[in-house]
Homo-oligomer: A and B are copies of this chain.
Amino acid sequence: MGQGADVLSDPALREIASKIAGEIIISDKPGLEMKKWRERFGLTQVEVAALMGVSASVLSDYESGRRKSPGARFVSRFVRSLILRDIERGGIVLSGLRRILLGSESLKQAVLDMREFSIPITIARFCEYISADLVVGAAHMSTPLLGYTVVDSIKLVLDVPSYDYVKLYGATTQRAAIFTRVTYGRSPMVAVKSMQAGMGGLRPALVVLHGVKKVDELGLEIARRENIPLAVTRIEDVNELIDRLRSIK
């Protein structure tokens, strides 16, 4: 049980564990479901049994249907052992289960820079660094930022598969999302809002537009209504923008 508490302290892992356990429990044949998950993790009965501290025939009893209703304690130990073993082996299967955490090549191309700050910086200070004017959300000048992500907005909408979008937020959404090569400024706001749909309302603390002189009125209105601070940088060269960002300590 001490083992279990350690493994499931990570919310993401706990979510996966809950999912697996739930599927096993509501299944008409819990044993078969256990087998499915065991095989999905690429583990043998012997291996899982060793991790659980029981003999392999225990698992066989369930998987073959001899035992029909595993108890909560057993299932919990079973799931934890799957997860623990996968973690020990590099977490390959778990990675697949939470595919959204893996970065595709196109994402790497679209993300020009990304960083977490060791010390939070206010939106006001951040905007100074990159010569940006806050056009929406003046009340947020003192909001702290914990990092930023610079994306090539054209590559983002054309090349990056949608399942990679969530990775733009890295370890925290308390960051600035900087869209470069923007034409009007509407699409970034639409994208940010639409991305919220399946992400529990997650969105960046600040959106910065680069390459646009006058923001499209609809884009502005979206920012106002969604209460998302929106800034426009006066820097024209993307590389200079990135240099400025990297100078932030």
Contact = CB atoms under 8 A, between A and B. Distances in A.
A17 B27 CA distance: 10
Q: Which 6 A-B pairs have the closest CB atoms?
A: A198-B198, A22-B22, A18-B22, A194-B194, A162-B196, A165-B197
Interface in A4-46: 4-5, 8, 14, 17-26, 28, 30
A162 B200 CA distance: 9
30 contacts: A1-B28, A4-B28, A17-B22, A18-B22, A19-B22, A21-B21, A22-B22, A25-B75, A25-B76, A26-B79, A30-B72, A68-B72, A69-B74, A70-B71, A71-B72, A72-B75, A157-B189, A157-B193, A158-B221, A158-B222, A158-B225, A162-B195, A163-B196, A163-B200, A166-B197, A186-B186, A191-B193, A191-B194, A195-B198, A196-B198
Given A22-B17, A194-B162, A70 B68 contact: no
Q: Main SS of chain A's interface residues? A: helix
A248 interface: no
Interface of A: 1, 4-5, 8, 14, 17-26, 28, 30, 68-76, 79-80, 154, 157-159, 162-166, 186-187, 189-201, 218, 221-222, 225-226
